[in-house]
Structure 1
Amino acid sequence: MSPRTWPVPVDRRRFLGGLAGGAAALGLSACGVSESGDGEDKGGDKAASTRRIKTDNGSITVPEQPKRVVATVNYDALMLLDLGLVPVGVPDGTAQRALMPAASYAKLKDVETIGAPGVPNAQAVARLEPDLIVDQFYKDKTAPLSKIAPVAFYDWGHSGALWHEQIAKMAEAVNRKDRLTSARRKYESRVKEVRRTYAKQIEQSTWAVLSGGPSGKFYLGSPLLTVLRELGLKIGKGTPKGDAGFTEKSYEELDVLDDCTVLLYVGQFDGSTPPTTKELLANKLWKRVPAVRAGHAYPIKHYGVACYSFALGAVDEIEAVLKKL
């Protein structure tokens, strides 16, 4: 699968693991530590003092204020940016113009790479002299890296945790809870504003989020559901009840969307559409779906929400749709 396409999720583990895998949608490339003037730490001497934190691989000792952090999956990198920290190392295929906001791409495009997602190169990691390594998917692969620096592992694939719970754990690992609080408050304020301004449109609409799949399949569900529900939007009956699951459907089951008045499907930041979703949009059965016929099916760039900056972007895109209702 091209690194510019979205993953093909048959369940939550496969979906999230796919995004983390670089050849999937947030396929987050990379090489040198990025430069910017907005206050992020870029490195420096390792912290002299330490503290103990709880992770899914046990209690570990980490620097009091980590500065040189290696992200072993794409989501880690995006979360660290939200916390004001540019990682010193990321997996191959992390910075993609089509798959992230320009500001995130600018910060990640020159960061050194450490090997393919799920297959970190220990020598490449060691050369970066990290004081902390973070991971959410590849416990067995990243555990040996603890000989280089502490590894904070927070299992996203099996835990059932939502994105905002995962970034809270990341904030604890890098000791940046204040940055997390600031980002969360900004997001919550924006959600309240949109709920108040578009209360009528929210009340009268029913939404679904989907992506195309292979062999005549499509998938209902996305981490974006958390944002939709916090905005008070009603979700269509065919979508998984929780915010973490995904339902596989065939094109012949597109009528499951008939109760929806608004559909959001995977878009990309360069305006393109992943091939599998493009196939879905060209299908004659898709064109018969009521929301599609009514002109209320829209691409959304911030489909793979993993952090508050992505969630804020999603709110902006959803607001633009609400204005049309």
Structure 2
Amino acid sequence: MRGGGDDGSGAAEPTGAAGRTVAADNGEITVPEHPERVVVTDNYGVWMLFDVGLVPVGVPEGTALRTALPDDIYRAVSEATTIGVPGEPNAQAIATLEPDLILDQFYEQKTRELATIAPVVYFNWADSGSLWHEQAERVADAVNRADRLAAVRTEYRDRLAEVRETHAEQIAASTWAPVSGGPNGTFFLGSPLLTVLRDLGLTIGAGLPEEEAGFVEKSHEELEILQDCTVLVYPELFDGTLAAPTSELLANPLWADLAPVAAQRAFPLRHYGVGSYRFAIGAVDEIEAILRQL
């Protein structure tokens, strides 16, 4: 559906400008036909836009971290202007960028007032239960680049099929769990990485959440729940280091006693926090490297 004029949010299309109507969780929002100057309020939105070849002009503080991003994404977003810490967008900084679209997935109350600057499209991810690829579809539609997302989706599915066929024996014979360190002597079972593990046909350990991207928090004393696994993966930063909570987890003697750890089948994974097809493809590549070692 197409339209123009005021979308009711306070942000109007310039006179004579073509517009599209996007069905968002904050209403039917009129946006430019081809947005180019996009501000995003969360890191995942940056990754999703990268999938469709669009680099935001404004990003939250802490987005462009070399330790948290593959080099190509880091280079692409390192020149973007910061628009405040996550959850506290700075209206003045955003207005200076003259955006034609503001994209939000977590902070509806905070971004509502920004509609006087540019159309605000809010896709609720905070409590919707949506998976990352479902959000990516909505983001791609908001910037009118669904065709580009289709291309990277096909690339991901082709890689899945290739790995499933090449390593069918190792996939059938292994049980996996993603695990990361938590605060105060805890760890987390689960990650959005579960979507990739399940797409590859890998068996998931019994202690993992049934939800595709859910988390379960456990104490270090409960590490034995991982004894049914043959492979463990844990997050590694892109500079090869570990976050402090995960380092603490791996230093625990109970970790060393786990069967997959004793068998040297616990592996670091840099594309652990999957939130886009680019990250998912990177995860598949890393998982294939692990499968070759089994």
Task: Give the TM interval when normalised to the shorter protein.
Answer: over 0.9
**CA distance in 1: counterparts of 2:40 and 2:128, whole angstroms:** 19
- The 1:306/1:230 distance shift into structure 2, 3 A limit, reads same
The answer on 1:289 being equivalent to 2:289 is: no
Distance in 1 separating the partners of 2:74 and 2:91: 25
Q: Please state if 1:269 is matched with 2:238.
A: yes
Local SS of the residue matching 2:31: strand
Q: 1:63 aligns with which of 32, 36, 40?
A: 32
Name the CA distance, whole Å, in 1 between partners of 2:175 and 2:273.
20
Alpha-carbon separation, structure 1, partners of 2:279 and 2:172: 24
Which runs of no fewer than 5 residues in structure 1 stay unpaired?
A: 1-44
- Structure 2 unmatched ranges of 5 or more: 1-13
Q: Which residue of 2 aligns with 1:215?
A: 184
1:314 and 2:283 are equivalent in the alignment = yes
What whole-Å deviation, never above 9, does each CA across 1:272-301 have from its counterpart, x for those lacking one? 000000000000001000000000001101
* Mapped partners of 2:111, 2:46: distance in 1: 16
Aligned residue in 2 for 1:172 = 141
Aligned counterparts of 1:157 and 1:127: Cα–Cα separation in 2: 28
Residue 47 of structure 2 corresponds to which residue in structure 1? Answer: 78
Distance in 2 of aligned mates of 1:143 and 1:303: 32
1:125 and 2:94 are equivalent in the alignment = yes
Quote how far apart the aligned CAs of 1:51 are.
Answer: 1.2
Aligned AA (1:218): F
Output the TM-score relative to the length of structure 2: 0.94
- Give the Å deviation of 1:323: 0.2
SS in 1 for 2:61: coil
Opposite residue 149 of structure 1, the aligned amino acid is A
- 1:46–1:63 Cα contact (<8 Å) kept: no
Following TM superposition, by how much is the alpha carbon of 1:48 offset from its aligned partner in structure 2, in angstroms?
A: 2.4
Counterpart in 2 of 1:228?
Answer: 197
Counterpart contact for 1:209–1:220, Cα < 8 Å: yes
Is it true that 1:51 corresponds to 2:33 in the alignment? no
The yes-or-no answer on 1:201 pairing with 2:170 is yes
In structure 2, give the amino acid aligned to 1:113: T
Contact preservation (8 Å) 1:187, 1:312: yes
| AA in 1 matched with 2:205 | G
Find the residue that maps to 2:118 and give its secondary structure. coil
**SS of 2:121 mapped into structure 1:** strand
Partner of 1:278: 247
Q: How many Å separate the matches in 2 of 1:138 and 1:78?
A: 18
Shift of 1:47: 9.5
Q: Which residue of 2 aligns with 1:249?
A: 218
Task: Report the equivalent of 1:152.
Answer: 121
How far, CA to CA, are the matches of 2:163 and 2:214 in structure 1? Answer: 26
Q: Distance in 2 between matches of 1:140 and 1:103?
A: 32
1:184-239 deviations in Å (ceiling 9; x for gaps): 00000000000000000000000000110111100001000000000000000000
Distance in 1 of aligned mates of 2:148 and 2:16: 19
**Residue matched to 1:101:** 70
* 3-state SS of paired residue (1:175): coil
CA contact (8 A) 2:236 2:243 kept: yes
Q: Distance in 1 between matches of 2:247 and 2:15?
A: 47
Distance 1:286 1:318 in 2: 21
Return structure 1 stretches of 4+ with deviation > 4 angstroms. Answer: none
SS in 2 for 1:159: coil
**Is the contact made by 1:69 and 1:133 (CA closer than 8 Å) also made in structure 2?**
yes
- Which deviations, in whole Å up to 9, do the C-alpha atoms of 1:155-196 show, x marking residues without a partner? 111000000000000011000000000000000000000000
Tell me the amino acid that sits aligned with residue 307 of structure 1: S
Q: What is the percentage of aligned positions where both structures have the same residue?
A: 58
Following the alignment from structure 2 to structure 1, what is the Cα–Cα distance between the partners of residues 40 and 16? 18
Aligned mates of 1:279, 1:296 — CA distance in 2: 18
**2:224 and 2:258 in contact (8 A); partners too:** yes
* Residue of 160, 173, 187 corresponding to 2:156: 187
Cα distance, 1:244 vs structure 2: 2.4
